[in-house]
Amino acid sequence: MILRPKYFCFLGIITFVVFNPGSRAAYGAYTTEDIRKLTGAVVQQEDSSAIPNAHVINITMKTGVPSGSDGIFAINIRQGDSLYFQAIGFESRTVYVSEEFFNRPGNVIIVLEKMVYDITGIDIYLLPRSYEEFKQRFINLDTLPDYSNLLDSPARALPDEHPTGVPIFSPVTFFYNLFSREGKELRKYKETLEREALARRIEKVLNHDVVRNLTGLEDEDEIMHFLSFCGLSVQFILDSKEYEVYETILDCYERYKDVKPE
């Protein structure tokens, strides 16, 4: 069975966590029939080559293993668990262990897509070989429109009665107001870009596909109601590792199941 990613998640460099073996105490509420060993391989989407040392984490059980040099892994799972797959340079993803997934025999193939980084374009210029070349380049630089002709315009006569004192308009005031307005606009633009970047970052970590894979919820309205019930803060999502956010969602889902109407 080949599982292909349906969504993108922000990929940070996550230090692999070796969970406390004591967490196996959580198995106590389950029989051996409830737990089975899942085996499979983590491969690249591009050419199906193995991804070694990928992090394979059972968020629900709080256990994890790395994939081998051939991409193969083996980890215990139960029905209802959520598995998290992450490797440096690749999009991370989660898999919900449904009843069908749990009971399906054979190995699984987990396909990860390479991470695509958005890099702002820059202009690169060769250094001038001499002072004369530098001077010529400087002379040929694009300049602002020439407003010198405004200085040659005839002056308009002021009315006989006009207020005295400090004039409202002066070159200093004009340029101060101009750059002040530009500064405010630039700050607003920068703040807008920062908000959009944060929104994209949050969307990659927490979106409907993530909640659906973690909890098995399908209805869009119920997913929104569930997220409202959890009340995860923006700061928590930004400050936490992906698997920590997912673990919190799973804990919240256990509480949500107790209160949601049947």
pTM of the model: 0.47
Delimit the domains of the chain by residue range: 2-117+204-259
* Model confidence at 6: pLDDT above 60: no
* Model confidence at 93: pLDDT above 80: yes
Q: HEC states along the chain? A: CEECCCCCCCCCCCCCCCCCHHHHHHHHHCCHHHEEEEEEEEEECCCCCECCCCEEEECCCCEEEECCCCCEEEEEEECCCEEEEECCCECCEEEECCHHHHHCCCCEEEEECECCCCCCCCCCCCCCCCHHHHHHHHHCCCCCCCCHHHHHCCCCCCCCCCCCCCCCCCHHHHHHHHHHHHHHHHHHHHHHHHHHHHHHHHHHHCCHHHHHHHHCCCCHHHHHHHHHHHCCCHHHHHHCCHHHHHHHHHHHHHHHHHHCCC
Domain 2-117+204-259 listed as CATH 3.50.50.60: no
Mean predicted lDDT score pLDDT of the chain: 73
Stretch 12-20: mean pLDDT:
36
Give me the pLDDT at residue 177, please: 54
